[in-house]
A and B are shown apart, each in its own frame.
Chain A
Amino acid sequence: MGLMAPWFLAGLAALSLPVWLHLLKRRRSPPREFSSLLLFERRVESSLRRRRLRYLLLLALRCLLLAALALAFARPYREAAAGAAAGRLVVLALDESYSMRQGDRMARARRAAAERLARLSAGDRVQVVAFSDSVRLLAEPEPDQAAARGAIESVRPGDGRGSYAELVRALGWMARAARVPVEAHVFSDLQRSGLPPSFQDLTLPPGLRLELHPAADRAVENWTVEAVRAPAVVYGPQAVRVEATVTGFARRPARRRVLLALDSRLIESKEVEVPAGGRAAVEFTLSEPGHGAHRGEVRLEPPDEFPDDDRRLFALQRADPRPALFLHEARERRAWLYFRTALEASGGGAFRLEEATLEQAGGLKPARYAFVVLSDTDWLPEGFAQDLRAYLQGGGSVWIALGPAALARRQAPLLDAPLSALGDGAGSLPGVRELDRAHPALEGTGRWEGVKFYRAARLEPAGARVLARLADGTPLLMEKAVGAGRLMLFASALDNLANDFPLHPSFVPFIERTAAYLGGLEQEAGALTVGTHLALRTAAERGVAVEVIGPDGRRALSLSEAATAGELALKQAGYYEVRRGAGRNRIVAVNPDPRESDLDLIPAETLALWRAAGSAEVAGARGEGTERTRRGLWPAVLLIALAAAAAESWTANKYLAGEGEGT
């Protein structure tokens, strides 16, 4: 016997209520006149005894009702031998995370699961599931052992990260759906890194008994390439720096050889000393990779006991810089100077800036450019303005900086909202107070401390998101979605007359980040992790078909998904080839979660605590051969409460009827 929620027993305090009622609210008997009480003894206890007896019956029923309710909420259970529990559901959960590739862990897990399957009792139903970062149901709950055996044999180690919290969550809904006692057997290497940050996530649901079957009996020393940092895209003929981090999950230092390969061709190898339980960094230089997509790899030699994680993939692409247009008044070139210098200083080289005056804009096609900057323009050639609006609607990006010309005309290009001038240029405006530093354009740009603004425009277009404000609340940097495109609005000029921003260090990263954001560079990543998602298309590419070839050489998307899916869940490690048509192909490297390389096992005391969080504690204490399950007694207790309520009503009614007759 036990209680699943013993704190509900505090409800027994409510028993004091009927006791109080019966002690202090005793009803008096009906009065009746009699000729003389001379011969009646003053032995009131004789009558009170009966009254108390009857009241005690009522009191006992009421106390029983309250006690049964409190007990039902405390969810009592009774333990019984598992063999006696007919009709239970046995869940065989096999770990298919990446770490199960080490040694014979997967084979041991399958063998143990098959052995447990052979020991099923008659009437038991069995369900086989495989889990890593998610849970897969391999067979429906049924008594057929052949199907379950086939499901067990089909389990192979994957590339995902093991998550015991996900497993417990899935076991929870299985237990709720089963409506019978559930016995879960987990066959796993019980990797410490698979534990969730909060132990609360491992709490087992009521009615579930958990039994753990370790597939690994010792912690294995392992070295792995934990991370590779290399640019996803390089623009132009330049050397590429590749940094790799080698991590040792071992208690001893080791010397490892680290090799860099590109397109299966060894580029360079280095020796590195990895401290015990520490990391070592290795840096390689790739001299001018060729045009196109490349498959890179950093691996360790010689292989250790877990060779699968000795390499880490990355993708590298060499592309031509994309053109960007900077449009300004012919007489004012300061902004162009500062903007170009800042963008070139950032070192990315992703964009090739083209300068044009308003008079030259009539012959330009905005669709050619990654983004367009309108620096203090108070008008636009009519044809160009129409093209620019269409460009915006179609997914293009425009950056508008408002300088003296726009302030003089009280109107900004492309915007219908009126604006007002702020500041006369003699004194500085209040400093920057708010910065949305989570925005990609402002990430890593500092706090703009000390930046002085002398002139600015005051406007706030409808639907615009304010990214930066002055101390007086004036919006300084805004972003507005126009159709599928982006419109960035800077309420001051990009020169050093309206402000001194170009003279501050934060100006360069601001220009670089904003250009990358507007040009769509932030979406490109060379290496991802299994379990994450790959963005397939932007809003501008809504109608474009995207085809993805997985690491196994097969299409990862169906035809309908290829036309509509916004992202792809990455389940396998390896290289994914993303084809967008017109030769715009891209390689994405996907690696297993590096935490899978830590083969340290969950400590025994943590496992005991996990079992204690559920029902397996008792089974463990009573020996391996004794399998026990819990049966909830709360329905029976609830029935007792109902019976007590009915009896209480009957007794109370009878009593009240007697009181009525007496009066």
Chain B
Amino acid sequence: MLQRYLDPAVLAGISGLDLVAKTVVEGFVAGLHRSPDFGFSQEFAEYRAYSPGDDLRYVDWNVFARTERCYLKRYRGETNTALTVLMDASASMGFSSHRISKLDYARYLAASLFYLAGRQRDAAGLIVFDDQVRNVVAPSSRQGQLSRLLHALEQASAGRRTDFARPLLHLLDHLRRRGIVAVISDFYASPEEVIRTMAPVRFRGSELILFHVLDPEELRPRFDQPLLLVDVETRQSLEVAPEYARSQYPPRIRGHVESLRELARQAGMDYFLLETDRPLDEALREYLSVREGRL
């Protein structure tokens, strides 16, 4: 029943990103089955043999007393990571064929991720960019970080053109520890260029998730008549016939998605396509899956 609160159309009626994020995550969590892969308390995770250099605070002395061997006891809550969201706020993200624009959807997604990360005491940071880095909130797990992140998301608006290079350079400059980097964008660029630009993040040991946000109209355009399409970023125009939009364009966008997915897989990145009329839970599930894999 709570799943319906994950519907973007429902979320659009909720004012305040904090409430949106809370609604999404709580709804999402409530729907989860308890499983050994997922948990959010200070539960035991594993024992690991002590190796020189390990923090002695984590040695399980009870085990040592019984076995005279040093083991380190690890809890899930102690496996914190850092989540950095790179949110594309270019002009193309402002496109919408229904109530939710791609930028709104990206905001909901980022807010939900931040809320989820907060519950797990993960540090979270945000870089908003278009062809420039427009806002940066450094990753942190301090009190009040969620509010700063949500405020930064509120401030984000559709800007100009997209350039992945600049935010990535900024990210690399500030990426001190390995973590999870989530890139939320419509990725209107060459897949090779996107992957080539993102690859250094992966080289630094961070997990990279590409959330590809697209409007249903972008996947399956429907025109009744020839239209003069104007690119919101470049202001270039092109006259497009309905037949072309119905028959030739869909294979091209699918090819673009598949190419991006395949190149991301080859580069060890995770890729997830999100349509703005679909619930957010799948994206959260993807995040948790990646996070679990990282631990």
Contact = CB atoms under 8 A, between A and B. Distances in A.
Contacts of A625: none
Interface stretch (B6-14, B145-153, B230-238): B230-238
B45 to A, nearest CB: 43
Contacts of B102: 35
Interface of B: 92-93, 95, 102, 186, 188-189, 215, 218, 225-234, 236-244, 248-249, 252-253, 256
A31 interface: yes
Contact of B188 (A32, A36, A42, A51): A36
B215 A35 contact: yes
28 contacts: A29-B225, A29-B228, A29-B239, A30-B225, A31-B230, A32-B227, A32-B230, A33-B95, A33-B229, A33-B230, A34-B232, A35-B188, A35-B231, A36-B186, A36-B231, A38-B188, A39-B249, A40-B229, A42-B238, A46-B248, A47-B226, A47-B240, A48-B239, A49-B241, A50-B242, A51-B239, A658-B225, A661-B225
Nearest to B247: A46
Interface in A5-38: 28-38
Interface string A40-56: 11111011111100000
Contacts of B228: 28-32
A662 interface: yes
A46 B243 contact: yes
Given A34-B232, A37-B231, A38-B189, 14 more contacts: A28-B228, A29-B225, A30-B225, A32-B229, A33-B229, A33-B232, A34-B231, A35-B92, A35-B218, A35-B232, A37-B236, A47-B244, A50-B243, A658-B225
Interface of B is mostly: mixed
Report the 8 A-B pairs with minimum CB-CB distance, sorted nearest first.
A47-B241, A35-B95, A36-B188, A35-B92, A31-B228, A34-B229, A29-B226, A37-B231
Contacts of A50: 226, 241-243
B234 A37 contact: yes
Nearest to B93: A35
B225 A44 contact: no
Interface string A602-616: 000000000000000
A44 B241 CA distance: 9
Interface residues of A, number: 26
A51 B241 CA distance: 8
A619 to B, nearest CB: 57
Contacts of B92: 35-36
A376 to B, nearest CB: 103
Interface of A: 28-44, 46-51, 658, 661-662
Given A32-B227, A51-B226, A40 B95 contact: no
Residue among B188, B236, B239, B248 with the most chain A CB within 10 A? Answer: B239
Contacts of A40: 229, 238, 240, 244, 249
B218 to A, nearest CB: 6
Contacts of B236: 37
A37 B229 contact: yes
A204 B189 CA distance: 80
A43 to B, nearest CB: 7
Contacts of B232: 33-36
Nearest to B255: A39
A44 B236 CA distance: 13
Contacts of B234: 37
B89 to A, nearest CB: 13
Nearest to A658: B225
A107 B212 CA distance: 108
Given A33-B232, A36-B92, A47-B241, A662 B249 contact: no
A49 B241 CA distance: 9
Contacts of A31: 227-230, 237
A207 to B, nearest CB: 50
A43 B252 CA distance: 14
Contacts of A30: 225, 227-228
A46 B95 CA distance: 25
The listed residue with most B CB atoms (<10 A of its CB), out of A36, A40, A658, is: A36
A469 B241 CA distance: 89
Contacts of B226: 29, 47, 50-51
Given A36-B231, A39-B256, A662 B239 contact: no
Contacts of B253: 39
Contacts of A35: 92-93, 95, 102, 186, 188, 215, 218, 231-232
A207 B125 CA distance: 96
Contacts of A51: 226, 239, 241
Contacts of B231: 34-37
Nearest to B251: A39
A37 B244 contact: no
B252 A39 contact: yes
A650 B238 CA distance: 29
A158 B28 CA distance: 121
B36 to A, nearest CB: 42
Contacts of B233: 36
Nearest to A51: B226
A548 B102 CA distance: 114
A81 B131 CA distance: 84
Contacts of B186: 35-36
B237 to A, nearest CB: 7
A44 B229 contact: no
Residue from A40, A42, A46, A50 with most neighbouring chain B CB atoms (10 Å): A40
A662 B242 CA distance: 13
Contacts of B242: 50
Nearest to B229: A34
A47 B239 contact: yes
A595 B102 CA distance: 105
Contacts of A29: 225-228, 239
Contacts of B227: 29-32, 662
Nearest to B186: A35
Contacts of A39: 249, 252-253, 256
A44 B228 CA distance: 10
